[in-house]
Each structure stands twice: as structure tokens, then as C-alpha cells.
Amino acid sequence: MPATPISSNLGLTPYQGAWTKVTTRHLLKRVLFGAKSNEIDYFLNKGMAKSVSELLSPNVNYPSPPLNDYNTATIIDPVVPLGTTWINNITADGTLNSYRRSTFKKWQVGSMVNQEKNITEKLCLFWANHFSIEADIVSYGNYVFNHHDTIRKNCLGNFKQLIKLITIDAGMLRYLNGYLNTNTAPDENYARELQELFTLGKHADVKYTEADVKAAAKVLTGWRINSSFNVYFDATKHDSTNKQFSSYYNNKVITGRTAAAGANETDDLISMIFERPEVAKFICRRIYQFFVYYHIDDKIENNIIAPLAEVFIKNNFEIKPVLEKLFQSEHFYDSLYVGCQIKSPIEHVVGCLREYNVTFPNMVTDYADSYSLYNNMVSQMINLGQNPSDPPNVAGWPAYYQVPEFYELWINADTLPKRNKFTDLMVESGYTRNGKKVVIDTIAFAKNICATPSDPNILMDALFANLVSTDVPATLKANLKKQILLSGQLSDHYWTDAWNAYQASATTINFNIVNVRLKALLKYIMNLPEYQLQ
């Protein structure tokens, strides 16, 4: 049995310590996918408060929508031409929807790789796990995209409003059978998950009853999807009787309504749930476990969760003030929490691509090659245990909730070698399509992170400072320098001379001498256990 993790005594008092590369890198690795060297330098110069403010203030520019990349001689979309978006056209054709879902995942990974310097993409992953739908079950590509789009446009906004939007989202209605929930055959799926997974959780303080689930299901009757694939409210399918709730909800009665007014009962239900203080605490716990650490003991509950919940409630369930408070706190920057998370497969793949500045073809002007190459990355994520937009169940990926392991579940005897194989591949050959290669450029990376890569000591420090979140023994760096950069020799000039010779004359021989050593070094570093942490 592993030892109980140690938790910090620090609270939400604003961080007053030095703003260093370590603290900057820590913030960026939690709110972005990886941290590029130029991003670390950019936010290092801004300081903590301005960095948090900018990261939580995304602009309104959304990625160009996913395109049709699937038309072939045998697969023809009769309405959407090749290279144009399908998001405004919906079809019941199962084959086309399968291709559209695939296209969406490629586009989604491309959006992550090309993310701007803000928290949007990371929050999209957080909320996609929280409001889990399985794309294969939802089936319709448009529903999958629209569900994601709702999350993207509201990820930093009002949580109560987001709950309402998700409740009547076509993807969620299909996934949890909400569109089949009628007065003659109430379906309890969404009513249960609304409380258990989306708002209240399963904490000891949460004591709603089975009767509350049944009553909530009756409230939600009538939401349908029409023949044009749009969500609407059908009053003839709505239970217009009064709905009685338990003492947990202060014996609330939601008055039944007829005609179009029946839809307003959904708002009454959400308002009733949000009167419970457990909502704010539950969401703050989920935020904490995603962005800080999975272990929450009484100390964390009292010093972090409870005051964050107060901020949440005070700000009428606006998400941004909670994140702002957390990311500016002394607790967040406690050294206990630097490098304490195991990267998810998505973080592992996208973080690697971003930190090495791996360049893909343009997603709009060269969509065919771009989407094909991004599909390789989707396959890698699936191979490592995280299929984007297709979590295994309504609770999301187990690594985000399964007690006591949490994200330790990402690493096992099967997935760790596959992680190493992916980074080895990206160093050695990458992927190529039509002469366009996505691969790690070792020499460009060395130049990017280090002003004087000819000095092996400075280069080693820069590599570890950019790729590894935790401290490693000086002896490890020294051994790697000697065995790889110096090819087993003792003097630093064995690397310095090789680097300078290549810079003076970029012959194939000079290039290979430098590149082979750098590739070996980078593969070794990324195969270290410490590289799996952030």
C-alpha cells in the first residue's frame, strides 16, 4: 500500500515568492499542453499576476471548423464538397458520420497543437471529461462537434449556464437518452448523472434520494430531437404534474406546467440543485484534482476547497474567478506540487509536439496532408489509453476519478513502453505524407532553448529545464553529458568542437555527428520516469 501523499499547509494567500523559470514552467504545464521555451520566457517577463490574467483571458478567435477530408472515389458526401466544413450540414448516413467523427478528432488534436497562449484547450479537455459523451454512441458528427463547441465557448464562463446548455445539448440528449424521456416512459439516466456526476458528486454530504432522481426525470421530460435534427421542447411529452423533492432539497416542489411553459421547469430544477453548497465544493474539487493534485485530505478541503467554493458562490458560479484565485495562490506554487502529475496520453503527445515546435501543414490550405498527419497523433493517443472525445463511460476517463490511483492509471507495463516508443519515433523518423514530415528537429530545438548550445553543460541544463519538471541528480546530467555528448571522452571540447564544426560547415558528416548525439540524448531524457511528470 503506497504511503498517503503529503499535502501542503499553504492556502489561497497570493503567492509572493520569486517568479522564476520553475514557477513559470509549472503554471504553463498545468494550463497549456506543455510549455514551449519561448512561452516560458514570455510569461517569465510578465510576472505571476499578469501571466495568470493573460492565460485566463482568451480572445474570441476560434479555430477554423473541421473540414471534409474524407471524399474519395467510393465515399462521397453529396452535400459537403471536399475541403469545406460539414458542421452546418447534418446527415443520418452512418458511414458519413463515422468519417466526420474521425475528422473532428484530427481537427481537435490540431487545435490543441496550435493552441494560443491561453487556457482554452486545456479547459476543453477538463470539461469534455466532466460532461463526458462517447462520440461513437452519439454517432452524429455534428452533435459531437456542437457539444465540443458549447464547451469551448463557455469553458471560462458561468457554470450554471453551462449546465443548462449541456442539459439540452443534442449530443447529451442522445448519449443519456434524454430525447426519449417522456411522461409515459420517464428515463432517469440524465437526471441521475446531472446530480451524481455533473453538479453534486458523491461526497458524504450529498444526500439526494432515488425519489429525487425520479422527480428530476419527470421535470426533464419533453426535450426532443426533431426530424431536422434540432432540439425542441414537446409539451405533449412533458409530465405536467407537480414534482416533490426530499428534505435534502428542503422539500421543494417544482410546480408542473403545461404547454411551452413546461420547459421552464428545467430551469427550476437547475436552480434548486445550485442552492446546495455541495455543488460549488464538488466542482472546486474537480478543478483542484485536474490542475493541482488528486489527493484531497481534510487540510486541503478546509484550506483550499471550502474557500474556493465561497469564491465560486460569491461570483454567481463564474468559473474564471475560481481559477484566478487558485493559480495566484501560494498553495499552487508549493514545491510539493511541481512535477507531481502524471501526464495523460493527450498531454504526453500534444505536449511533446508543442515543446519541440513540431510543425504540421496548414489545417486549412493543406487540410489533406495536415489531417492525415494529425490522425497519426490520434492513433498514438488511443494506443496510450485516451481516445479523444471517446472516454470509456459517462464518468469520463478513470484516471481523473478512480480512487486511490487517479492518474497513476495512465502508466502500466503496456503503456509506458508505448510512450517511450512514441517519443523515440518522433526523434528518429516522425511521420511523412507527400514529402511533408513531422519530426523533432534536434538541432533547431537545441538552438531554441539555449543561447550557447556549444557548451555541453549549459545545453544539458537547458534540456532538463525545458523537458523535465522535477530536479534530477547532477550525477545523471554529468553521466549523460560524458557518455552521449562527449562520446565517452572527458573533455567538453569533444562536443564543443563537433557543434562548432557543424555551424562552420553544415556537411552531412558534420550534421550527423551532432544530430546522432542529440537524438540519443533526447530519447534517453524522454525515456526517464521524470519525463512522464508535469
CA distance 109 to 390: 13
CB 343 within 8 A of CB 417: no
Q: Is the pLDDT of residue 1 over 60?
A: no
Q: What is the mean pLDDT of the chain?
A: 97
In this predicted structure, what is the pLDDT of residue 61? 81
CB 269 within 8 A of CB 255: no
- How is 288-333 classified by DSSP, letter by letter? HHHHT-S---HHHIIIIIHHHHHHHHHTTTBHHHHHHHHHTBTTTT
Q: Is the pLDDT of residue 303 over 50?
A: yes
Q: Taken in order 412, 416, 419, 425, is the CA torsion positive or negative?
A: negative
CB 371 within 8 A of CB 363: yes
pLDDT in tens, 438-487: 999 999 999 999 999 999 999 999 999 999 999 999 999 999 999 999 99
Provide φ and ψ at 533, rounded to 5°. Answer: -105, 155
| Type of residue numbered 112 | M
Query: Helix or strand or coil: residue 159?
Result: helix
What confidence tier does 6 reach under pLDDT thresholds 50, 70, 90?
Answer: confident
3-state secondary structure 333-352: CCHHHCCCCECCHHHHHHHH
CA distance 147 to 145: 5
- How is 259-283 classified by DSSP, letter by letter? GGGGGHHHHHHHHHHHTSTHHHHHH
Q: Is the pLDDT of residue 373 over 80?
A: yes
pLDDT in tens, 330-365: 999 999 999 999 999 999 999 999 999 999 999 999
| Type of residue numbered 308 | L
**Mean pLDDT score, 26-51:** 98
In this predicted structure, what is the pLDDT of residue 227? 87
In this predicted structure, what is the pLDDT of residue 60? 76
**Nine-digit cell at 166?**
449541456
CA distance 88 to 84: 10
Note if the pTM is more than 0.95: yes
**Mean pLDDT score, 207-228:** 97
**Mean pLDDT score, 152-181:** 98
SS3 content of the chain, % helix, strand, coil (to 5): 55, 5, 40
CB 130 within 8 A of CB 396: yes
pLDDT in tens, 129-141: 999 999 999 999 9
CA distance 28 to 36: 9
**Nine-digit cell at 472?**
534530477
In this predicted structure, what is the pLDDT of residue 301? 98
Q: What are the residue ranges spanned by the domains of the chain? A: 18-55, 63-157, 169-276, 277-338, 345-385+402-438, 442-532
pLDDT in tens, 39-98: 999 999 999 999 999 999 998 788 999 999 999 989 999 999 999 999 999 999 999 999
pLDDT in tens, 229-254: 999 999 999 999 999 999 999 999 99
In this predicted structure, what is the pLDDT of residue 3? 63
**Nine-digit cell at 255?**
410546480
In this predicted structure, what is the pLDDT of residue 5? 83
CB 54 within 8 A of CB 47: no
How far apart, in Å, do the first and last CA atoms of the chain sit?
Answer: 24
Q: Taken in order 184, 190, 195, 196, is the CA torsion positive or negative?
A: positive
